[in-house]
Copies of this chain bind each other. A is one copy, B any other.
Amino acid sequence: MTDSLVLSIDGMGGDDAPDIVVEGVDIAAKRSTDTRYLIHGDAARIEALLARYPSAKAATRVAPAEKAIGMEVKASQALRQGKGSSLWNAIEAVEKGEANAVVSAGNTGAFMAISLFRFRAMEGVHRPALTTRWPSIKGGYTVILDVGANVEADNEQLVEFAIMGEAFARAVSNIARPSVGLLNVGSEEQKGHEEIRAAAALIRQADFDMDFRGFVEGDDIAKGTVDVVVTDGFTGNIALKTGEGTARLVAHYLRDALTGSLLGRLGALIAYPALRRLRRRMDPGTFNGAVFLGLNGLAVKSHGSADGHGFAAAIDVATLLARSHYREEIASNLARLAAAEAAGAKVGEAG
């Protein structure tokens, strides 16, 4: 591996792969000229696309893969039969040290299963977590995890998520000391179930130097009350999908209002540039790139329906993380967590 970054790309993952993948690499290659790309997949199709994208072509090597894992394949099946696929090979290239991170817009379940199987969880991480970003009224975004890797999380796992999310926010948002909140049904200390109250106590007890703000509520995600919102994968997945559904509902109402009358249509025509800007801000692609955090390898998942710009955003996340010290930061806070737990256990014995 040279000094420049190498990203291993699943060329065949995503609804419109390989087209959006090569387009995304082209956009990213223009932004960051010292990154190299290793695109795995159908070599003939990918080379044909590269011929149309000179910036991508100049920075890319194609690694032929004989098959692709479909979006409907179950994780267990992908693990058994996925060897030799573009996704599998893309992950393996990172494992072998040929690349710094893998990016795929493919099957999420397969991506998580194969990443976990090949990379393994970092020492001290019980459950890697899927981490993503949600736009906030403050103009930036809120990091949220877990958004679906695990359906349950105990207090210790929630604290691990807090550690991982904080390091992620520092790497990707360029905030020196990101604030962290635990998602709950109220901000008062006595609220919520036992696991979450125990997690809050454990964070306060451990010597993390973390800007921990206690409990936050669902509407704090879009408000941007804290930089990092921590929750279990069941709640996180459902909350964000409810948010997505609501955003689509409001967009539908807006379309309805602006096409339902002559004045509405005329106004929309005149305000067209402003409405186009609104559409771009609401485009989930802007914040594309979920990271499966807590593995020994860096695994970034693009939304399956991403376009080229969305895929490039996922590449940006991989680049920022690969150039950061997120893994060392996580390891050092995990050691502090272990120390706090050992001290807690001693207190327990003494009592």
Residue ranges of A at the interface with B (Cβ–Cβ < 8 Å): 135-137, 148, 151-152, 183-185, 191-193, 217-223, 231, 233-235, 237-254, 256-258, 260-261, 263-264, 266-275, 277-278, 281-282
Contact = CB atoms under 8 A, between A and B. Distances in A.
A292 to B, nearest CB: 16
Contacts of A270: 263, 266-267, 270
Contacts of A233: 185
A271 B271 contact: yes
A217 B193 contact: no
Nearest to A223: B245
Contact of A278 (B231, B243, B257, B271): B257
A244 B218 contact: yes
11 contacts: A151-B192, A185-B238, A193-B234, A218-B245, A219-B245, A242-B243, A246-B246, A257-B271, A257-B274, A260-B274, A268-B271
Contacts of A278: 253-254, 256-257
Contacts of A263: 270-274
Task: Count identical subunits in the complex.
Answer: 2
Contacts of A268: 267, 271
B239 A219 contact: no
A238 B267 contact: no
A273 B263 CA distance: 8
Given A151-B185, A218-B237, A219-B248, A264 B274 contact: yes
Given A151-B192, A250-B247, A238 B235 contact: yes
A231 B242 contact: no
A136 to B, nearest CB: 7
Q: Which of A220, A256, A267, A277 neighbours the largest number of chain B CB atoms within 10 Å of its CB?
A: A267
A220 B245 contact: yes
B234 A261 contact: no
A222 B246 contact: yes
Nearest to A277: B257
Nearest to A279: B257
Given A248-B219, A267-B267, A267-B274, A185 B148 contact: yes
A240 B240 CA distance: 10
Contacts of A237: 185, 217-218
